[in-house]
Chains A and B, each alone.
Chain A
Amino acid sequence: MATTTQDLKQITLTDLKGKVDPDWCPGCGDFGVLAALQKAMVELQIQPHTVVTISGIGCSSNLPGYIETYGMHTLHGRALAVATGVKLANHDLTVVVTGGDGDGFGIGGNHFIHTMRRNVDLLYLAMDNQIYGLTTGQMSPTSQLGMKTKSTPFGSVEPPIHPISMALAAGATFVARGFSGEQKHLTNLIKQGIQHKGFAFIDVFSPCVTYNLDNTYPWFKQRVKKLEDDPSYDPSSWIAAMGKSQMWGEEIPIGKFFQRTDVPALHEAEPILDEGGPLAHRELGIPADAVKDFIAELM
């Protein structure tokens, strides 16, 4: 199934336009994430048929239908588990996972932690709006303490989780935060995330203009501060990253918190993949001498 040179054409934004237009609310932060992802793919000249975009369920999880790559729109919270299977079975594919904060940090929290510790080579774009949008506005794992939603009409008494801290603690090898309102910055992070060999996590502030009237574009614009603007910040320092990850309030850091490149991705660590190419392309069947051994053990 080698890709021939005639398949390798110049990729433009038009090539990456999906079969239908997004059905997100006008002004939704997710438009900016989709646009940044498409721009990053154009800048990296990635052939669309070599990419699988995989999502869970939620507003943001509709994204695979809006980009012309192979897509899987899976179950609520399960995108990372599916994506792990895809990447391990065919490590030639570029795997991009998208989804929301409820999908990834709530119902999918278990897979989130374990996919990071395994260092599966994929880009995970969490489109974080701190609210459940598709179910019409209930609190999410990243909703701020005190936030009033339909499920917390008197204000949430639960503190939010810190996805960046969680990612660092779980062993993610690329950890970043973007903002849908900072296109160039986000595109650059996505490019780095795709190129990173291992698990790349980008938590993207993607404001919900319908149900989250607390954490709006202006709210973020006033607060976000790029780590890249601080020449003294060293993204190879896990301790520094952990410290920054807990910052929240008047100043919220965005950018690349942490990256390390000395950990093999899971498919690189797995001896079965040392030779023979992707599992998906291998012939079915077991070598005759192996069969002989299997039966000899039983005799």
Chain B
Amino acid sequence: MKHTFAVSIGGAAGQGVATPGNIFARIFARRGLYLNAYNAYQSIIRGGHTFLTIRTGPEEVTNSGDKIDLLIPLNQDTMDRHLGLLGPGAAVIYNGDNIKPGPVASGVRLCPLPVSDLTHNSRNKVGQNTLAVAAAINMVGIGFQPLEEVLTQQFKRKGDAVVAENVEVARTAYQYATEHFEPFPRPLPMTDHPKAVITGNMALAMGGAAAGVRFYCAYPMSPSTGVLHWMATHARKAGIMVRQVEDEIGVINMAIGAAHTGCRAMCATSGGGFALMTEGLGMSAMIETPVVVIDVQRAGPSTGVPTKTEQGDLWQMLGAGHGDYPRAIATPFDVGDCFKIIPEMFNLADRFQCPGIVLTDLLLSEGTTALDPEDLDFNVKIDRGELITSANGNGTSGNGAGGYKRYLFTESGVSPRAIPGLPGYTHTAATDEHQEDGVLISDEFTNPIKRREMMEKRQRKMVGIEAAVKPPELIGRPDAGVTLIGWGSTMGVIQEAVEMLNEEGITANQLQIRWMVPLHGERIIEILKKSKRTIIVENNYSGQFARYLRSETSFVPDGHIRKYDGEPFMPHHIVEAVKDQLAGRTKLSVPMHEIMV
């Protein structure tokens, strides 16, 4: 078992859960520890219940794990909801003045802080949170200096007085913990390689910046809004135009307009906004102007649960828009992959002049992780494909006389794309069906032969797209007794479940799908036909990937593990479900989420 440590902080929205969360994350990452932070929250600005879990450790941490080592309830509600989750060895730090613990499992340490005494009856509520953080830092074996540095950074924009007050309060609590609380037996180690703390939304935005996005537009929609925020904040330094548009229909159309001039243009939304964009996606494919769209899934249908995660938009992506057209759909594995996938998708969209969809979810977009800063490499490969950006003498004399054909038939299906402004390449890009020179064959000049040729030209691109993308690979021992199949953001949790199963003597391996379109169905079948037993794990009700895989390959797995309660899988959910299925108790497991958030 990996050495990890999980601290959970809970309270009402507006009570300052985020600040201690940030402080922990910074301290851990600066020690070179990996981390994963997941905030279970509600769509309420003040009140409700927010529960942030940060799990850290010297090896990569990909999910929130199964157990809480330290609970910091900022209010009675959090204490009541979550104390029962703690097992032997765990501790709870709380304000002993006004929060009362209920019945507690044996071996759980109660660490009440006499907050009024320690703060000399100060009314500074954030001070309370700082007390708890300081005591926690003491108990995990981290010195006071790193805490002081992070507190200074965290509060410096509020002025020196606030910094001094927080540092003083922290020092008092740190000292109090030394005197009164037993430290955790295994202190958190330190490496000399500090990590970068980053969310999926930030990674997606930075990936766009690395890809050379010059135009980003969006309509605010949880849980994708973080992309807009990063873009807006960094637009001037990065040389990106950022626009907030009146609706998602405007967003996709504006992005395509910008892309049509030769810019790289991107937009992000969630399921409901994506639904509004679907006609626009078809336009991108029809006029062959590339655009990259990010869909950050939240629990649907309709408005659904805006602050909860799901993998429920797959079929929407597959079927987005009417008619058949080429597209690429990728589902990044983790926050680091959110950064990498964007330049890859832009190269693909540019080369094949079609829409590229990045399908991720709240779990990644709002999840926080620690990455090696080297993993954020902005020197990415750029491939603009067949783009004509200068009039090089091959121009024509207008009226189509010289014969530039924007939609020239080629073996690859890709036609050299001239951007507006070049003399000699004037043409009309139409959403109506058209012939090679762009003239419509939709109204007056309908022509079944030309229509067929143009459909086949566009669809031929899929052959190239399939060849351009890496097929999936089996992870783990090939002779395992069970293969767990997942897609996108479940990469980490399935990986951990596989490790746990192997430790228990149940041999397991993993097939994780990153590219939905192209799917590489033959390769998948080649892998799965060697598997002894197959189980598809996904965060939705109907088994959207299972149905897609069957529709593309006729493959039917032995079992399914699904979850659609808004919360992500925990490793033990998968482990227990696999055991149930191996014992023949069920073929469809729907784990119960124990944490009430």
Contacts and interface: CB of A to CB of B under 8 A. Distances in A.
A295 B382 contact: no
A111 B426 contact: no
Contacts of B215: 85, 88-89, 279
B239 A72 contact: no
Interface stretch (A221-229, A252-260, A270-278): A270-278
A64 B399 CA distance: 12
Contacts of B257: 54, 72, 81-87, 89
B492 interface: no
B431 A73 contact: yes
Interface in B226-268: 234-241, 243, 245-247, 249-250, 253-265
Contact of A298 (B265, B373, B430): B373
Contact of B214 (A53, A69, A282, A293): A282
Contacts of A50: 421
A288 to B, nearest CB: 8
B439 A19 contact: yes
A68 interface: yes
B258 A86 contact: yes
A271 B195 CA distance: 34
B398 interface: yes
B389 interface: yes
Interface stretch (B204-212, B306-314, B588-596): B204-212
Contacts of B239: 272, 276, 282, 286-287
B253 A89 contact: no
Contacts of A64: 428, 430
B250 A114 contact: yes
B30 interface: yes
Contact of B427 (A15, A62, A71): A71
Nearest to A110: B246
A255 B249 CA distance: 33
Contacts of B236: 271-272
A70 B240 contact: no
A292 to B, nearest CB: 10
A93 interface: yes
The 9 closest A-B pairs by CB, nearest first: A85-B257, A284-B212, A71-B428, A81-B253, A73-B430, A298-B196, A89-B258, A82-B257, A85-B258
Nearest to A289: B237
A48 interface: yes
Given A65-B430, A83-B257, A89-B261, A110 B212 contact: no
Given A75-B431, A82-B254, A89 B263 contact: yes
B198 interface: yes
A87 B194 CA distance: 44
B279 A70 contact: no
A49 B247 contact: no
Contacts of B30: 299
A1 B398 contact: no
Given A23-B443, A89-B262, A272-B241, 8 more contacts: A1-B421, A68-B399, A71-B426, A73-B428, A113-B246, A280-B261, A298-B373, A299-B195
B429 interface: yes
B431 A299 contact: no
B376 A286 contact: no
A49 B249 CA distance: 28
A70 B439 contact: no
B254 A286 contact: no
B253 A280 contact: no
Given A49-B423, A64-B428, A84-B257, A114 B237 contact: no
B253 A85 contact: yes
Contacts, number: 230
B256 A48 contact: no
Interface string A164-183: 00000000000000000000
Contact of A88 (B212, B243, B399): B243
Given A1-B422, A47-B423, A82-B253, A284 B430 contact: no
Contacts of B197: 298-299
Contacts of A270: 241
15 contacts: A1-B422, A19-B439, A62-B443, A71-B429, A71-B430, A73-B428, A85-B257, A85-B259, A88-B254, A89-B262, A114-B245, A280-B262, A281-B262, A287-B237, A294-B209
A52 B420 contact: yes
A188 interface: no
B260 A20 contact: no
Nearest to B399: A68
B479 interface: no
B423 A19 contact: no
B493 interface: no
Nearest to B430: A73
A236 B308 CA distance: 53
A197 interface: no
Given A49-B423, A70-B426, A279 B210 contact: no
B444 interface: yes
A281 to B, nearest CB: 8
B419 interface: yes
Contact of B440 (A62, A74, A272, A280): A62
A114 to B, nearest CB: 4
A148 interface: no
A132 B255 CA distance: 28
B261 A48 contact: no
B287 interface: yes
A3 interface: yes
A92 B421 contact: yes
A85 B256 contact: yes
Contacts of A82: 253-254, 256-257, 260
A73 B431 CA distance: 6
Contacts of A7: 391, 423
Nearest to B217: A85
Contact of A85 (B254, B391, B419): B254
B373 A286 contact: no
Nearest to A78: B253
B398 A89 contact: no
A192 interface: no
Contacts of A92: 421
Contacts of A83: 257
A65 to B, nearest CB: 5
B20 interface: no
Contact of A86 (B211, B279, B283, B420): B420
